[in-house]
Structure 1
Amino acid sequence: MSKAAQTAKAAKPAKPKSARRRAREFILQGLYQWRVGGADEAAIEAYAPETEGFDKADRAFFTATLRGVIAQHEALVAQISAHIDRAYEELSPIEAGVLLLGCFELLHHPETPYRVIINEAIELAKAFGGTDGHKYVNGVLDKIAAQARAQEMRAPQSGG
């Protein structure tokens, strides 16, 4: 990228984050605490509201989704494991959390378009994960969406 392009990109104001986007960030942080630190659901739910910016997050979505991901962890891991090239336990905690969240949303939030779910997962992986983790997340969630949202994926896209 040229210096001019970098400067133009840096000068462009960031789009404000939606309440759902913020909730997803807190869910990912909670899943990280759960996997790496051994925190339980109650501890995560107690800690998150104390964190700066949580007041701008969709609290109901945060709570329901965090609880759902943790409760369905084994089933979600089974879904994810069918589409990855290594053991789930070998994934980085960030990639694992993003995949759990994305998989849960694909399966349990049909009101949210699959493209939105995958894009949100990619953005989380870019913001919190390793250099190319977002590409891996994209590939895995595309495969899960092809099964979980096959009809939606075949539907013609409305032009915009």
Structure 2
Amino acid sequence: MSDTTPRKSGKPSLTEMRRNARSFALQALYQWSMAGQSVNEIEAQFRVDNDMSNADTQLFSELLRGVTGASRDLDEAFRPFLDRPIDDLDPVELSVLRIGAYELMHRLQVPYRVAINESVELAKIFGATESHKYVNGILDKLAQRARSTEIRARRGNS
């Protein structure tokens, strides 16, 4: 049974749990960028205030802590592909780009297409009307750099 097949028991699939974790991480990163609270406070608050039983809490924590810890490096990685200064990005777009960049650069077990697609889905749900297209373009260019070997291997197998 693939991890996208609905479970008869009503439990969410691993894919759904990861998607939920990314959604919570995006909201927590938005709060971090807007309120300036500590990551520990935000994580504790999310775990208390939200039913995270259908989310991969380990992934949530990894994304929240990994993105905040590497935010400068992540920003520098995608900065060359932006059409405006980082400070002019919508905070939701910026958080989505950081999650996507983190997954492309630090979660190599996640296929690059999955990392991009998950970020695009977050942008569709939480971002402005056309932000998913912008996110897709930026992360696709970053993937060409960060995952060039994987991309070449994929093209060679198709």
Please give the alpha-carbon distance, in whole angstroms, between the structure 2 residues aligned to 1:153 and 1:48.
36
CA contact (8 A) 1:49 1:55 kept: no
Please give the alpha-carbon distance, in whole angstroms, between the structure 2 residues aligned to 1:107 and 1:35.
21
The question of 1:94 aligning with 2:92 is answered yes
- CA shift for structure 1 position 54: 1.4
The question of 1:73 aligning with 2:71 is answered yes
Please give the alpha-carbon distance, in whole angstroms, between the structure 2 residues aligned to 1:156 and 1:87.
33
Instruction: Give a deviation string over 1:93-137, Cα, whole Å, max 9, x none.
Output: 110000000000000111110001100000000000000000000
Please give the alpha-carbon distance, in whole angstroms, between the structure 2 residues aligned to 1:109 and 1:67.
13
Structure 1 portions without partners, runs of 5+: 1-14
- CA shift for structure 1 position 32: 0.4
Moved over 3 A (4+): 156-159
The structure with the largest alpha-carbon Rg is 1
Match of 2:80 in 1: 82
The question of 1:110 aligning with 2:114 is answered no
Please give the alpha-carbon distance, in whole angstroms, between the structure 1 residues aligned to 2:80 and 2:42.
29
- CA shift for structure 1 position 51: 3.4
Alpha-carbon RMSD across the aligned residues, in angstroms, is 1.7
Structure 2 portions without partners, runs of 5+: 1-11
Percent of paired sites with the same residue? 43
**Number of equivalenced pairs:** 145
What TM-score do the two structures reach when normalised by structure 1?
0.85
Instruction: Give a deviation string over 1:36-64, Cα, whole Å, max 9, x none.
Output: 12222011111111233412111111112
Counterpart of 2:133, as a letter, is K
What does residue range 4-153 of structure 1 map to in structure 2 within 5 Å?
18-153=16-151
What TM-score do the two structures reach when normalised by structure 2?
0.86
Please give the alpha-carbon distance, in whole angstroms, between the structure 1 residues aligned to 2:137 and 2:41.
32
